[in-house]
Amino acid sequence: MSHEITKARKNLNNVASMLKQDKILPAATAFNEGLSTYLRSKLLQNEKKEFADLLDKTLYLLNNHPKIREVFPILLTMEPGKEKELLENIRELIQTLQNQMTDSARLSHEDLEKEKKELLNKAKAHLDDHDVTKAEAIFRKLMRNHDKDFDLKINIVDLLIEAQEYQKAIDYLKLAYKDNPKSVHIYNRLGMALRKLGKYEDSEKAYKQAVKISPRDEYLHFNLGRLYIEMQQWVNAMDSAEKAIKINPDFKQAKKMLKFSQGKVGNK
């Protein structure tokens, strides 16, 4: 007996165990592979009968599993000369089960996203009430459940920056950096947090790194210009404003920055 037939028989004999564990997709797949092997193999008369009996026994188990009946009400039958029709039905069953799994995964993802949004809203409410401790407890819970979620870390950073908790925002930016060290969002927010903490040189480095990654982003040049204004580096502020305006000629705030910086240079 060939290796392929031996493998098919072994898988068919495992179907009962699969069904007891509600592993209906692997069970249906095992039957599909077994029936395909049966149809394309050249078997002796006694081998063919033995294999057909095993398939028939396995099919009975599939037909009587409640979850299969629920998703696929068609009774699967194995009749001489109609094996290919059965094969088509089995493949339709497998497709139905795969679609069901995809839908289930999609709904699960939607539920997770909904839960994250609700928890972030609760954390924001705590921050609005200046209860940082409760907000941080929610953030820690989110990180335990979604430690690889880069966007979630950025959302937390934004909430902390909005609440003026700049050092805590930097801590979460460090976590986000591990996920995506080339993200412009990290350096932009890092520059903002460091500027708010008065760490101007470190802020400048962060903003320059952001500009290096995305040189055609006018808002990055504008943010760097705001830093230079706080540092009273008027020529650098003018240069940043001009670069922002060159990218976006309608950038009104950048035009105001340029005019303000030019006035400071002219008054020297």
Residue 267: the pLDDT is 63
Confidence of residue 150 (pLDDT cuts 50, 70, 90): very high
74 found inside a domain: yes
Give the mean model confidence (pLDDT) for residues 251-264: 94
14 found inside a domain: yes
Residue 144: the pLDDT is 85
Segment 151-173, tens digit of pLDDT: 999 999 999 999 999 999 999 99
Q: How far is residue 244 CA from its own chain's centroid?
A: 33
147 found inside a domain: no
109: left (phi over 0), alpha (psi -120 to 50) or beta: alpha
Give how many domains the chain has, as a whole number. Answer: 2
State the SS3 of the chain: CCHHHHHHHHHHHCHHHHHHCCCHHHHHHHHHHHHHHHHHCCCCHHHHHHHHHHHHHHHHHHHCCHHHHHHCCCCCCCCCCCHHHHHHHHHHHHHHHHHHHHHHHHHHHHHHHHHHHHHHHHHHHHHHCCCHHHHHHHHHHHHHHCCCCHHHHHHHHHHHHHCCCHHHHHHHHHHHHHHCCCCHHHHHHHHHHHHHCCCHHHHHHHHHHHHHHCCCCHHHHHHHHHHHHHCCCHHHHHHHHHHHHHHCCCCHHHHHHHHHHHHHHHCC
222 found inside a domain: yes
Out of 16-30, 86-100, 247-261, the most confident range is 247-261
Whole domain around residue 251: which residue ranges? 215-268
Residue 107: the pLDDT is 53
140 found inside a domain: no
Q: How far is residue 146 CA from its own chain's centroid?
A: 10
Of 62, 80, 103, which residue constitutes the final position of a domain? 103
Residue 3: the pLDDT is 78
Of 58, 76, 103, which residue constitutes the final position of a domain? 103
Pairwise CA distance, residues 160 & 164, whole Å: 6
CB 244 within 8 A of CB 251: yes
133 found inside a domain: no
Pairwise CA distance, residues 214 & 191, whole Å: 14
Whole-model pTM over 0.85: no
Of 42, 70, 103, which residue constitutes the final position of a domain? 103
115 found inside a domain: no
